[in-house]
Structure 1
Amino acid sequence: MLSPEFIEDLWYGKHPLSILLAPLGWVYQSFMSIRRLAYQAGLLPVKRVSVPVIIVGNITAGGTGKTPLVIWLADYLKKNNFRPGIVSRGYGGAASHWPQQVRPDSDPYMVGDEPVVIARHTACPVAASPDRYAAVVQLMEHADCNVIICDDGLQRNALARDIEIAVVDSIRRFGNGRCLPAGPLRESIRRLRSVDMIVSNGYPGHGEYPMEYLAKSLHSLIDPHKEVTVDSFKNKTVHAVTGIGHPARFFSMLRNCGMSIIKHEFPDHYHFTRQDIRFDDGLPVVMTEKDAVKCTAFAGEHHWFLAIDVRMNNIFEHRFSKLLKDIINGQKTA
Structure 2
Amino acid sequence: MFDRMALALERAWYKPPKFLLLLLPLEWLFATVTALRRLAFRKHWLSSGHPGVPVIVVGNISVGGTGKTPVVIGITQALMEQGVRVAVVSRGYGGSAMGVVQVSADSDYREVGDESLLIAQSTSAIVSIGRDRLAAAKHAVELGAEVIVSDDGLQHYALERDVEIVTSDASTGFGNGHLLPVGPLREPRKRLADVDFFLLRGGQDPHSGTDYRAKQFRRFSDGKTVAAQNPDFGPRVHAVAAIAQPQRFFDGLRSLGLEPVEHRFVDHRAFEGSDFEALGDLPIVMTAKDAVKCPTVLPDDAWILDMETEFPQGFVQQLIQRAGLMPVASPTAAAASRTESGAQASRSGDPDSTLMSKKCGDSV
Distance in structure 2 (CA, Å) of the matches to 1:32 and 1:295 = 36
Is the partner of 2:80 in helix, strand or coil?
helix
Q: Which residue, 57, 64, 68 being the options, matches 2:59? A: 57
Distance 1:106 1:144 in 2: 21
TM-score by length of 2: 0.86
**Aligned-residue offset at 1:319:** 2.1
Read off the aligned partner of 2:67 and give its amino acid letter.
Answer: G
* Ranges in structure 2 where 5+ consecutive residues have no aligned partner: 329-358
**Equivalent position of 1:227 in the other structure:** 225
RMSD value, Cα: 2.0
Task: Give the number of aligned pairs.
Answer: 330
Alignment CA distance shift 1:59-1:327 (3 Å): farther
Report the AA paired with residue 225 of structure 2: E
CA deviations 1:199-253 (Å, max 9, x no partner) are 0111156x951111101111111212x1112211576111111111111111111
**Secondary structure, counterpart of 2:324 in structure 1:** helix
Q: C-alpha distance in 2, partners of 1:198/1:236?
A: 37
Kept after mapping to 1: 8 A contact 2:17/2:182: no
Is the 2:214–2:308 Cα contact (8 Å) retained in structure 1? Answer: yes
Deviates more, 1:11-20 or 1:106-115: 11-20
Question: What displacement does 1:328 show?
Answer: 7.8
1:169 aligns with 2:198: no
Partner of 2:34: 32
Task: Tell me if 1:311 matches 2:296.
Answer: no
What one-letter code is carried by the residue in structure 2 that aligns with 1:229? A
TM-score using structure 1 length: 0.93
Paired AA for residue 26 in structure 1:
W
Counterpart for residue 160 of structure 1: 160
Q: Give the structure 2 partner of residue 214 of structure 1.
A: 213
Secondary structure class of the residue paired with 1:87: strand
Structure 1: any 5+ residue segments left out of the alignment? none
Instruction: Give the drift of 1:5.
Output: 3.9
Among candidates 60, 73, 76, match of residue 74 of structure 1: 76
Deviation of 1:9 after TM superposition, in Å, equals 2.6
Q: CA deviation at 1:22?
A: 2.4
Alpha-carbon distance between aligned partners in 1 of 2:213 and 2:38, rounded to the nearest angstrom:
36
Q: Alpha carbons of 1:144 and 1:98: their partners in 2 closer, same or farther (altered >3 Å)? A: same
Secondary structure, in 3 states, of the residue corresponding to 1:325? Answer: coil
Letter in structure 2 aligned against 1:136: A
Structure 1 residue 124 corresponds to structure 2 residue 125: yes
On the 8 A contact 1:52/1:327 being kept in 2, the answer is: no
Partner of 2:11, secondary structure, is: helix
2:323 alignment partner, SS class: helix
Residue 281 of structure 2 aligns with which residue? Answer: 282
Q: Contact 1:162 / 1:327 at 8 angstroms: preserved in 2?
A: no
Partner of residue 200, structure 1? 200
Secondary structure of the residue aligned to 1:186 is coil
The worse-fitting range, judged by mean Cα deviation, of 131-140 and 112-121 is 131-140
